[in-house]
A and B are shown apart, each in its own frame.
Chain A
């Protein structure tokens, strides 16, 4: 039970971190996320749980890379505003650089943006591909 309380608290904190990243990109994002909080908060959690099931990952605490990724996708699905997807790339890019000496090349980012613009990113990268590219580049393993 104590673990569960910690986990809930951890999700809340991590979700708010992700919201902070998006707010730095655009203050309007913060308000828009707040406006859809009811849906977004629960769907991002459910998507994260699904990811962990699919990838056999035990959830001990929540990874902000994942929350940023699923939050962007959910907000994009709700608003159809691709700026969320582009902001997500930039946020993950910054996090990777801060966490490691590695970085995702401009060529790869260029290709991802191209697929986002053409709406072909899901067929090209699958459900978790974009997240995995950045996560694999960080010091933490996917």
Chain B
């Protein structure tokens, strides 16, 4: 199965990041080897319980902006504090 690279490459036409471009080609070729119609669409008629867009809000943000959001970084700070507490608790357990 061949890939129409045009759609994929259009994303990087204005990018000066050659590494990203190479990465895109490489990964797309890998995907071409792995994807098959049988594998992906095997349950088409049986179950559609995944929502249309099952990505998190953050993934949608990254796809638009290229990096994680301020909100994510703020929540990460909170998570770091929470995990530090848990690690202290773990330490006393061992």
Binding site for B on A (CB under 8 A): 3-5, 7-9, 11-15, 17, 20-21, 24, 37-38, 41-42, 45-46, 49, 52-53, 56-65, 86, 89-90, 93-95, 97-99, 106, 109-110, 113-114, 117, 138, 140-141
Compute the total of residue contacts between A and B using a CB distance below 8 Å. 148
A95 touches B7 (CB 8 A): no
**Sample of 6 more A-B contacts, CB < 8 Å, known A12-B27, A17-B63, A90-B76:** A7-B40, A42-B33, A60-B52, A61-B54, A106-B86, A113-B90
On chain B, the number of residues with a Cβ less than 8 Å from chain A's Cβ atoms is 58
One of B23, B39, B59 near A17 (C-beta < 8 A): B59
- Can you give 28 contacting A-B residue pairs, CB < 8 Å? A7-B35, A8-B28, A12-B8, A12-B27, A15-B27, A21-B68, A24-B76, A38-B30, A41-B31, A42-B34, A45-B31, A49-B40, A56-B46, A56-B47, A58-B46, A58-B49, A59-B43, A60-B50, A61-B50, A61-B53, A63-B50, A64-B59, A94-B75, A98-B58, A98-B71, A98-B72, A110-B89, A110-B90
- 9 closest Cβ contacts across the A-B interface? A64-B59, A63-B54, A8-B31, A56-B47, A17-B59, A95-B56, A58-B43, A94-B75, A17-B62
B50 touches A14 (CB 8 A): no
Measured CA separation A32–B48 after assembly (Å): 35
